[in-house]
Amino acid sequence: MIGIIIVELIVGSILIINLSKRWLTERKANFWTLVLWIPYFILLIYHCAVLFPVTNEGDTPSPVTGLFLIGGFIVYPVYILILNAASITKEAA
């Protein structure tokens, strides 16, 4: 299972870098990909909270889950920045 996730991460990253090289050659477009994930994230959290409310006390996550979420919040924009930096070619810079 972990191997599948790692392979998917590597193949997906290579695919995103190639698509960014092809479609997002301008620096402004790369910047907007870094910023526009925030409203989508907020909408996703809101809709998940509305559609799947915690009605049973046993459904609440453990306290450590919050630490994983904080780590993900920090790592995800850095990951997008790395993908954008890798997709910049010498002609576009």
3-state secondary structure of 24: coil
CB within 8 Å of 77: residues ≥ 6 apart: 34, 37
For residue 38, CA distances in Å to 18, 41, 43, 65, 76 come to 23, 5, 9, 20, 11
CA distance 9 to 75: 14
pLDDT digits (tens, 9 = 90+) for 38-83: 888 888 888 888 888 888 888 888 889 888 988 888 888 888 888 8
CA distance 21 to 23: 6
Greater pLDDT, 93 or 75: 75
Q: Span 20-34, mean pLDDT?
A: 73
pTM score: 0.63
| Contact status, residue 12 vs residue 55, Cβ threshold 8 Å | no
